[in-house]
Amino acid sequence: MLFRQYFDPKLAQYAYLVGCQKSGEALIIDPERDIDRYVEAAESEGLRITAVAETHIHADFLSGAREFAERFGTKVYLSDEGGEDWASNWARGSDYDVTFLKHGDIFHLGGIEVQAAHTPGHTPEHLSYILVDRGGGASTPIGIATGDFVFVGDLGRPDLLEQAAGMHGVQEPSARQLFASLPRFQELPDYAQVWPAHGAGSTCGKELGAVPQTTVGYEKLYNVSLSVAELGEDAFVDAILAGQPEPQTYFARMKRDNNHGVPLLGSLPRPRKLTVTELEQTVEKGESLVLDTRIDRSGFMTKHIPGALHTPLNKSFNTAVGSLVEDETRPIVLIVDEAGVEEAVRDLVRIGYDNLVGFATPETLTRYFDRGGAPASIEEISFADVARRKNDPDTVVLDVRFAAEHESAHIPGAFHASYTRLPSYAREEGRIPRGRKLLVHCASGGRSAAAAAFLAREGFDVSFVNGPFEAYREVGEVVSGTPSATAA
């Protein structure tokens, strides 16, 4: 048996390649949409990917299952649990080679046995996959691919369907389903390895560890949510639903597309490198959305293309774009170093932004401004400035951190609007004050930079607060609890 883990640091997502070296067959569990890298990895090991297994209908990335089925005729294993609403409708009645699995169903990959375990809670249809290396002489599991059921240090959140997909009234029943699923994990051997679908940085849970895998026994000892479950079902439900981070805007779209059919990708988009003249023409037309991926926040605030979003090509890139860009069909132009183009393209197609029409390098952007291109700018201030200005009648402090961070400590009188949900807040009358200067801050400056650019694009009068929130404690008072003025 061969086993490989593939990590996407932007989405904190794990996919798994499981291969039978005797038969030359391989299984990929929870692949992302750009499948060429998995195919190449399998081929480098002398294997051919003959099967794909999905743990559930994902909310944070587009699945590669349909891409495999369409391009290679790969057999696909999907859940047949959870009812008609969670039936992976793209595969029902299709010509693809699809097998729908119930709890306890088994399939084989050469000498490897794969058993489906229904583990609902995060989603109704959720399956985990228990692996036994029969060909290697084993009769007990080597491990379990838990999807979004069990993570290192935590469990998958049961409120996501309500908070991200708008399915009202389902989070408490889902939490109780999750509690009922726990024995199916706890009854496994302590030595069994645990291969989760996400790690630290994902909003699919609260306290995910950065360790790439764990064991059943270790999680039984140290998993926070498993420990709370020992206090009883009601205590578990209250704890697992409390303090979950606000999900990104694009999650609802991922659920829809993964259920009804991810658009086929084929090859990666190849955005054209723009000359200065072409960049001028693009800006003049105004049809394309400019994503400025420069890391330098201050450089962006000083001078950028009017209406551009600040989406640095770092670990938060997908979160920023997915939270702030609602129309995935709009043409996109990137400001990006040439060496970062493929990285940005892969990041974007994994969350459904395919209409990538061009890119300009930062050097081209500089020449654009040198040739008379009109820049936009956003005032940059410090937390000391916030302390001096926060009581001005025409000024509002806007905290764009997660609600749990805000409730732990915030500036008195601050409004709160998590940056992962800003588009809906900006549309709702009175949620974020118009006609007043917004002093936009977060914990360090990353989220507030993206938020300030978005709000400026939407016509708000904003100042960007750069620096760590702890700096405010040196110059002003903070309070805890639910704020009196909130946009959340």
Q: What residues are paired with 199 via a beta bridge?
A: none
Q: Which of 260, 284, 304 is the last residue of a domain?
A: 260
Residues 357 and 395 in one domain: no
Amino acid at 144: I
Q: Which two tokens stand for residue 378?
A: 């956003």
Count other Cβ atoms within 10 Å, centred on residue 192.
17
> Is position 96 within any domain?
yes
C-beta separation of 456 from 378 below 8 A: yes
pLDDT of residue 86: 87
Residues 408 and 327 in one domain: no
**Position 484 pLDDT exceeds 50:** no
Q: What residues are paired with 129 via a beta bridge?
A: 116, 145
C-beta separation of 67 from 35 below 8 A: yes
Residues 49 and 175 in one domain: yes
**Position 19 pLDDT exceeds 90:** yes
Map 149-204 to HEC letters. CECCCCECCCCHHHHCCCCCCCHHHHHHHHHHHHHHHHCCCCCCEEEECECCCCCC
- CATH code (residue 304): 3.40.250.10
Residues 357 and 435 in one domain: no
What's the chain's average pLDDT?
96
pTM of the entire predicted model: 0.95
Contacts of 244 (CB under 8 A, 6+ apart): 157, 159, 163, 203, 205, 206
Residues 243 and 325 in one domain: no
Q: Which two tokens stand for residue 168?
A: 């009202």
**Position 488 pLDDT exceeds 50:** no
Residues 122 and 185 in one domain: yes
> Is position 109 within any domain?
yes
pLDDT tens digits for range 406-439: 999 999 999 999 999 999 999 988 889 999 999 9
- The pairing of beta strand 25-29 with beta strand 143-147: unpaired
> Is position 405 within any domain?
yes
Q: Which of 315, 349, 370 is the last residue of a domain?
A: 370
Q: Which of 338, 370, 402 is the last residue of a domain?
A: 370
Tracing tokens 């979160």 back to the chain, one arrives at: 319
> Is position 484 within any domain?
no
Q: 321 lies in which domain range?
A: 272-370
Between CA 364 and CA 341 the distance in angstroms is 14
> Is position 483 within any domain?
no
Residues 177 and 129 in one domain: yes
> Is position 488 within any domain?
no
Amino acid at 266: G
Number of domains forming the structure of the chain? 3
Segments in 390-486 forming alpha helices (H): 403-408, 422-427, 446-457, 470-473
> Is position 22 within any domain?
yes
- CATH code (residue 45): 3.60.15.10
Residues 363 and 384 in one domain: no
Mean pLDDT of 267-290: 98
Q: Which of 90, 100, 424, 56 is nearest to 257 (CA)?
A: 90
What is the gyration radius of the CA atoms in the chain, in angstroms?
A: 24
Residues 409 and 312 in one domain: no
Residues 187 and 155 in one domain: yes
Residues 469 and 347 in one domain: no
pLDDT tens digits for range 61-119: 999 999 999 999 999 999 999 998 888 999 998 999 999 999 999 999 999 999 999 99
Residues 254 and 276 in one domain: no
Between CA 487 and CA 483 the distance in angstroms is 10
> Is position 485 within any domain?
no
Q: Exposed/middle/buried for 35, CB within 10 Å: 0-12, 13-18, 19+? A: buried
